Chains A and B, each alone.
Chain A
Amino acid sequence: MLLRLLSSLAASAAVALFAWSSGEAAPPLDAMDAEALASQAQCLACHTAPEETVARLRSLGAPSLADIGARVAPDGLRAWLRGGHAARTGSRMPELLHALPATDRREAVEDLTHFLASLGGPFEARAARPDAWRIEEGATLFARLACAACHPDGALEARALASKTDLPTLAEFLRDPFAQRPAGGMPDFALTTAESEALAAYLLRAQHAAGPAREDLAPGVRWEYFEYRLEGGLPPDLAAISMAEPTRTGVSNRIALLEGHRSERFAYRFEGWLALDAEESIRFGLNSDDGSQLWVDDELVVDNDGHHAPASVEATVLLAAGMHRVEVKMFEAEGGETLEAWIVRGGVKAPLGAEQLVVRAPVYEPLGFKTMTPDPQRVERGFARFAGSGCGNCHGGIAPLEEARPQLAWEILDPEKGCLADSPSAASADYGFDVEQRKALRALVAQRAELRKPLSASERVRHDLTRMQCTACHTRAGAGGPSAQHTASFTGEGDVGDEGRIPPPLDGVGAKLRPDAIAAILEGRGGVRPYLHARMPRFAAEQTRGLAAALDEADWRNGEDQPPEFDPALVEAGRLLAGNGGLNCVQCHPVAGHAASGMQAMDLTAIASRLDAAWFRAWMENPLAMRKGTRMPVFFAGGRSIAGEILGGDARRQIDALWAWLSLGSSLPLPDGLVMEEGAYALVPTSRPIYFGAFMEGGSPRVMNVGFPERVHLSFDFEHVRLMQVWRGDFFNAAGTWNGRAGALERPAGEAVRLLPQGPAFARLDTPDAAWPTATGASAGWRSLGHRRDAQDRPTFRYHCGEFYVEESVEPEYAEGGAVLVRRFTVQVPSRENWTLRAGVAGSWSRARDGWWESEDGMRLQILLPSVSLRTASGAQELLVDLPTGTTNFEVRMSW
């Protein structure tokens, strides 16, 4: 049944690229390994070659040297240049000064060091917080993210790193590696600031051991957290709470409730310094539950004290130039809690935190750090050497050299000479290749005609996976995957076996995943395996361009299978099958964030948008054939389902039903048997709609929300007398309305929230180009009459304006890709009154082939009434429906 061809690439030894060091005997290398080696060595940075050869041998590039002097300490630069290959673990950078006598060589290194140090330098260590706990966190993260799969001798590197740079610089690189490695030599792991700082602290831990050089100001706020005891009732205000002995302290980037506070009876004190160049009038604001205060230089500025629900207070203060101590205190008595602090400067509101405030923090310098003032003469000589040696062929970022071109044509190279000579000449680069490597590369050059052939799809895949080191974590065709030594460092949450800790094999992945899903994963938008600690990084776009298509081509073979046509009637059967009365998928698979009853495997809402339908069928029929050792059970042995009562136990129909249900994605109706947290505030419609009244952000204090089991939902605003918004996925978390004194402005919990146009849904337009009215609700004559609920608890809203009466029923309807909402109107239009419905407003509307209207922002409307017209008003297009007098029934379907 499986119609895809699994890659038939020969297994070969994985090349742990960054693990090898020069001189080490390497195993025999085949042609593909030789191509990989030529790619790492960046041969084509210097040699021009035909287009196909360039494509085959493309590389991850070298670091940009812009501002290298600000990022690396002079001694770090010097050691890197002087130490030869031995000092450059993990790098393929060649030696270019190898032919110089020792004295000249030392001079050359010194000149280059001065030149590089002058680029953005001098290096100056900045304040940071490599606390012991942060180092520990970094060590844990280093292990959890399986960094060692690519960086196996981290300890060695750590020592070298510690004399090169400081924590803020390294953290910046980890957070945004493409800034310094534009070609993507290091992928982007989407590290948070805290994560990047922890990793940097760990990698530079030798600096912490050596102790700080001095103190300086660093962005941030110092915090103290207090858990107070209840003595004589709840404290009425901040003054009643002793802030003498904090329970915990630390430094953070923001003034907000930090993780790990208890739910009642706690307090916080934050402190930071605000530096002003000139006198300035500054507005501060606090929103808190319960009380809070903001003090500047021991003067109370914002007083939001006392017991209360979330409440905001702002105040303006005139501050002189200089440093000002800003202090925020907050306490929580009982019930809900919140804290926001902001600052308004020059009319711009921003959160009050590390962007504005500084604290005193220690400065750790690179080991053995000595300042160096670049000598202008050496800088000049260094620049000449840099240019003359062709360093700029690989390294960008140095303005005058940006145009440096490759010199020698690849096609005329002598495989025995130059860089590949037994002893490379002065004009060549010395890569320190070992005998095997040299042999393989010579063969590659000698048979270069082969390199003019375009790569087949599977060769292309192998090249890409090798170059980007995908194979450090993933296997494909028996090759790659974590080495025996590093397998144990891959870990995961819970008990999901090896599937829950080791990144998935890529065998047949082009047949398994839709190309857009592969592209999303490569762009760092995968994230369907939260139980894996290892993290799929984002690669530079130029490295992955074309890979998804190559995978698709490499793994695909034509066949008769087409995805089953969407059949709304199968959705309920699919839902039942997924539930604990069917195949009990919910035993292992969470759905829409609701926990499975046993282990927590992949969330089922993500399945259909990723998987190829035919692959899904093959997987369901025999999972073990698709993934060796999988824990996925076999439900359909011998073509018979273990759930015999549903759809007659027919395997094919059941799989089709599951697919129909899964294809609704984030709006699939929830199956039975998920773990719903009792007493939590999440509102999850399962068997029938849930109604929830609340104060609604962007609406009014009188909004009724209706959540449907079909996982599309709506808000109706009784004050503005109109359908206000629709959305998909989760319905609501009611904590803001049900917890404590509550009264928060609510917003939907789900996704794809679509606000309907402001103003009334219906209006009387005196002329065809009269502006749509903005006033709605009672002041504009609109009155709600209430609503009705049908036997399935679906709503009909009833409202009127004068003698114009509307009944608007809204209900979901299953459709391919996700349920749509159907608005069913019954309107009574009095004679001599012209009423119009504004069905939609968008930048532009167009009519699709199926008759639906489509907006440029992805809203689709089907209007079952002939009198639809389009007009442009204030820069947008309005989709209008003119209503005849008398009673009219019509429908508008919304899909988005």
Chain B
Amino acid sequence: MVIHFLILLATQISVPGEAEHYPAAECLAPPRAVLEVGGLLPLGPGELLACTRRGEIWRIQEAWDGAPKFSLWCDGLQEPLGLLDYQGWVWTVQRGELTRIRDTNDDGRADDFETFCDDWPTSGDYHEYAFGPALDQDGNFWVTLNRPFGAQAFGPVDWRGWAMRITPDGEMQPVCAGLRSPAGVGVAPGGTVFYTDNQGEWCGASKLSVLREGDFHGHPWGIESAKLPASRVEYPGEPVDGMLMPEAAKTVPHFQLPAVWFPYDVMGRSPSGFAWDQTGGAFGPFTGQLFVGDQYQASVIRVFLEEVDGVWQGTCFPFRRGLVSGVIRVAFDEEGGLIVGMSDRGWPALGTKSWGLQRLTWSGETPFEILAVRARPGGFRIEFTRPADPATLTKEAFAYSSWTYEWHSAYGSEPFETQALRVTAAHPAADGRSVELEVDGLREGFVHALLAHGVRDAAGKPLIHEQAYTTLIKRPTR
């Protein structure tokens, strides 16, 4: 049943109810502006900066009024893939440097470009993207570096596949290794640094992971750099080709499991930028949750995170499909809209356009969704955005299965050790807003997939999305 449902979802372009609750407005650019968005920086009502893969930064005003005004703020950057507003400068990461930029004479054109840090090397390979910066609570900048795929025209270099922390003095600290294609990096409101990675060789499934000094995320491309003096990661040893992820986490030094795995195709194929909903309800009922773009699926994924005994883990939910191109960046504006920047260049995506800029807003009507899935010692607590009919919150209304992935050199991992789990009891809250499920056979280091197929609201309507994928790293003891 679960499998059948997964296939059904994967072939759906849009899900009924998504666009009604979260309509999208599109900002149509003039011919000169090719908005292959690499970074977004909301500035005020209808106003933002967008940097593009063509190395330009555009200032856009009245973006959502149907007649946007575009002006070129600067050109000539090398594939900038992030924007940050800090200390009176606009910060971005180019292929080879962390740069800060400003317009000193206020003529609408940037005129001062300072190299803040250019200590990581590039080999001249198209795949050597650098993502960021993300600013942590201590004023450090975080940058994630892709591994190369191909020519490396200027010869192989160190530190590819690493996460870098750059101190306020501009010192580069190589803090995490084993990244593959870390297309998003961000700092949670509480200060934890997260990144997204794209499935492929040595990365069994796309994921959201915590970046913590000393951790190894599984990809061996750049691990020789761990032997260099600047490394803050212990050399993890030769990789073992073919080991279950939970096993690798136990045996490989500092091997870090993700907080959330995004099952292939059903959730997306290539997670990218992400943003926390801090709109205080302006974007709907998901305050505090994380919204993650997916490039292939032209979609936005929703993530609920919780910390259990110091370990971050969580659940991902389908949220909004049917955007016009592959989502690279998302950013909340002050008015509570989620700006979505897109490009499908090089990696074809669902959607009708090669690139684009859209903004999702909340219609004001609360969608009937699973709000959160919280791990319990013997099962899960499921919370809803609005009351369900308590009579439908029975154990038969829920189905669970679980699997994990393998750490190996081949591209992506099939689910391993898949099991259907028995929901042995359901304890609904009287107000219908939550239910405690007792589930047999929970396994740490496994994805626990929920299908809430029997849940109905007071009007007898099902959930917009009945599925949720919880990565259980740590089973709470109480």
Chain A interface (Cβ within 8 Å of chain B)? 234, 308-312, 334-335, 678-679, 690-695, 700-702, 704-706, 718-719, 734, 738-745, 778, 783-791, 793
Contacts and interface: CB of A to CB of B under 8 A. Distances in A.
B76 interface: yes
Contact of A791 (B74, B107, B122, B348): B107
Contact of B110 (A234, A678, A743, A789): A789
B96 A719 contact: yes
B122 A743 contact: no
Contacts of A739: 345
6 contacts: A691-B74, A701-B128, A704-B76, A718-B118, A734-B54, A793-B109
B77 interface: yes
Nearest to B344: A334
Given A695-B124, A788-B111, A789-B110, A701 B154 contact: yes
Interface string B112-134: 11110011001111111000000
B55 A693 contact: yes
Given A690-B75, A702-B97, A791-B105, A740 B153 contact: no
B58 to A, nearest CB: 14
B112 A788 contact: yes
Contacts of A311: 150-151
A741 B346 contact: yes
Contacts of B122: 701-702
Contact of A309 (B31, B55, B115, B150): B150
Interface residues of B, number: 43
Nearest to A310: B151
B77 A789 contact: no
Given A311-B150, A702-B96, A745-B124, A790 B78 contact: no
Given A702-B78, A785-B114, A693 B345 contact: no
Q: Is the interface of B mostly helix, strand, loop or mixed?
A: loop
A704 B79 CA distance: 12
A783 B99 CA distance: 14
Contacts of A678: 31
A679 B151 CA distance: 27
A141 B125 CA distance: 44
B53 to A, nearest CB: 8
Interface of B: 31, 34, 53-55, 74-79, 94-97, 99, 105, 107, 109-115, 118-119, 122-128, 149-151, 153-154, 345-348
Contacts of A734: 54
B151 A784 contact: no
A768 B97 CA distance: 37
Contacts of B94: 693, 702
A740 B346 contact: yes
B154 A740 contact: no
A784 to B, nearest CB: 5
Contacts of A695: 124, 153-154
Contacts of A778: 118-119
Given A702-B96, A743-B125, A788 B113 contact: yes
A183 to B, nearest CB: 50
Given A690-B75, A693-B55, A791-B105, A700 B115 contact: no
A738 B54 contact: yes
A702 B128 CA distance: 12
A306 to B, nearest CB: 10
A617 to B, nearest CB: 39
A742 B153 contact: no
Nearest to A736: B126
Nearest to A335: B346
B76 A706 contact: yes
A701 B95 contact: yes
Given A693-B76, A693-B77, A743-B151, A784 B109 contact: no
B78 A694 contact: yes
Contacts of B154: 695, 700-701
Given A702-B96, A740-B345, A309 B77 contact: no
Contacts of B109: 789, 793
Contacts of B347: 741
A459 B95 CA distance: 68
Given A335-B345, A786-B113, A793-B109, A741 B126 contact: yes
Nearest to A743: B126
B31 A742 contact: no
Given A335-B345, A700-B154, A691 B112 contact: no
B10 to A, nearest CB: 13
A742 B348 contact: no
A719 B127 CA distance: 19
A691 B126 contact: no
Given A702-B95, A718-B96, A790-B111, A692 B124 contact: no
Q: Sorted from nearest, which 10 A-B pairs have the closest CB atoms?
A: A743-B126, A691-B76, A693-B78, A741-B346, A701-B124, A311-B150, A786-B114, A702-B96, A701-B122, A695-B124
Nearest to B96: A702
A701 B150 contact: no
Contacts of A718: 96-97, 115, 118
Given A742-B126, A743-B126, 6 more contacts: A692-B55, A693-B77, A702-B94, A743-B124, A786-B112, A786-B113
A411 B78 CA distance: 79
B27 to A, nearest CB: 18
Contacts of B77: 693
Nearest to A785: B115
Q: Which of B74, B111, B124, B347 has the most CB of A within 10 A?
A: B124
Contacts of A309: 126-127, 149-151, 346
Contacts of B345: 335, 739-742
Contacts of B99: 786
Nearest to B79: A693
Given A310-B151, A718-B96, A784 B112 contact: no
A593 B63 CA distance: 36
Contact of A789 (B111, B114, B348): B111
B291 to A, nearest CB: 27
B29 to A, nearest CB: 12
A790 B112 CA distance: 9
B96 A701 contact: yes
A739 B150 CA distance: 16
Contacts of A789: 74, 109-111, 113
Given A719-B96, A787-B113, A743 B31 contact: no
A778 B157 CA distance: 14
Contacts of B115: 718, 783-786
Contacts of B125: 743
Contacts of B53: 738
Nearest to B347: A741
Nearest to A741: B346
B421 to A, nearest CB: 32
A234 B296 CA distance: 13
Nearest to A704: B76
A740 B76 CA distance: 18
A361 B200 CA distance: 47
Contacts of A701: 95-96, 122-124, 128, 153-154
Contact of A745 (B79, B128, B153): B153
Contacts of A786: 99, 112-115
B128 to A, nearest CB: 8
Given A690-B75, A701-B123, A740-B345, A308 B149 contact: yes
Given A701-B95, A702-B95, A742 B346 contact: yes
A701 B113 CA distance: 18
Nearest to A745: B153
Given A678-B31, A693-B78, A719-B96, A310 B113 contact: no
A651 B119 CA distance: 59
B200 to A, nearest CB: 12
B100 to A, nearest CB: 8
Nearest to A799: B115
B323 to A, nearest CB: 20
A693 to B, nearest CB: 4
B76 A700 contact: no
